[in-house]
Structure 1
Amino acid sequence: MDPRFRLALQWLLNAVALMLLPQVITDLRVDSYAAALVTVLLLALINTLIRPILIFITLPITLLTLGLFTLVINALLFWAVASLVSGVYVPDFWTAFWAALLYSLLAWLASVALSGRDGRQVRIVTTRRRN
């Protein structure tokens, strides 16, 4: 699969996952698919650029909590991105916490669906026998 197509499909599937969250988390509101697309794009940028810095800064507390503090970081970033996008409403930290956790799970499932069972892309290799 072409990497650009896979990236676009991953983006669309993550937006669908975000649109499904209000079905489970009633306090969360996503008004439109366009708002979901923008939110997913901003989440990807923030998770790529800012999240590693926050994890490094909070490394001592992350180690003390055996990595569970990264869930708090994810919730805070999810809450921050939702506050930047009109059309996505997250009222409090706990809503952001559960939404970020469920969104991460759904995004991971979409990623696995687009790749092989072990996270690598599926490639079919054929060999010819020479006589």
Structure 2
Amino acid sequence: MLLRLLANAAALGVATLLLPGIRLGEGDLLRTVLVLLAVALVFGVVNAVVKPVFTAVTLPVVILSLGIFLLVINALMLMLTSWVSGLLDLGWHVDGFWNALFGALIISVVSFVLNAFLPDRRRRRRGARA
């Protein structure tokens, strides 16, 4: 779980570096890392709690779009993360929907690549039962 948090923080960091519309407040390296970890935690909670409900409500649109609408949902989850981060005064902000959409794409790709190298908890559990 900690490795996944670190992977999400790294993915958020890459999106913050690549897109000028995703900003992180000024500070030293330690503050930047701590803010990215906090934002990754918020992002994880938003994706675990809000995203399944939102996906279920919009399921017909997701099916009709052959899953492309999931990109919009990911962008909205990133905007919600930005809003919650603002409430928590973390200093991380996403400017507008298009930055959120491109940020969600970057985060998805980076997370996919990083998670490919992380051990799969479910596979380990299944192997223990056999």
How does the TM-score come out when normalised to structure 2?
A: 0.78
Residue-by-residue CA offset, 1:29-74 (whole Å, 9 max, x unaligned): 1232222111111111111121111111101111111111111111
Residue-by-residue CA offset, 1:59-116 (whole Å, 9 max, x unaligned): 1111111111111111011011112113111110000011011111111111111137
How does the TM-score come out when normalised to structure 1?
A: 0.77
Name the amino acid aligned to 1:92.
G
State which of 10, 28, 32 in structure 1 corresponds to 2:4. Answer: 10
> Shift of the alpha carbon at 1:120?
4.8
The 5 A counterparts of 1:8-87 are: 8-31=2-25, 32-85=32-85, 86-87=90-91
The higher radius of gyration belongs to 1
Match of 1:101 in 2: 105
CA RMSD of aligned residues (A): 1.8
Match of 2:127 in 1: none
Q: Return the alpha-carbon distance in structure 1 between the equivalents of residues 15 and 123 of structure 2.
A: 27
Structure ranking higher in helix proportion: 2
| Runs of 4+ residues over 6 Å off in structure 1 | none
Provide the identity percentage: 30
Structure 2: runs of 5+ lacking an equivalent: 26-31, 125-130
Select the structure with the greater relative contact order (CA < 8 A; seq sep ≥ 6). Answer: 2
The number of aligned residues is 113
Q: Any idea what SS the aligned residue of 2:117 has?
A: helix
Structure 1: runs of 5+ lacking an equivalent: 1-6, 122-131
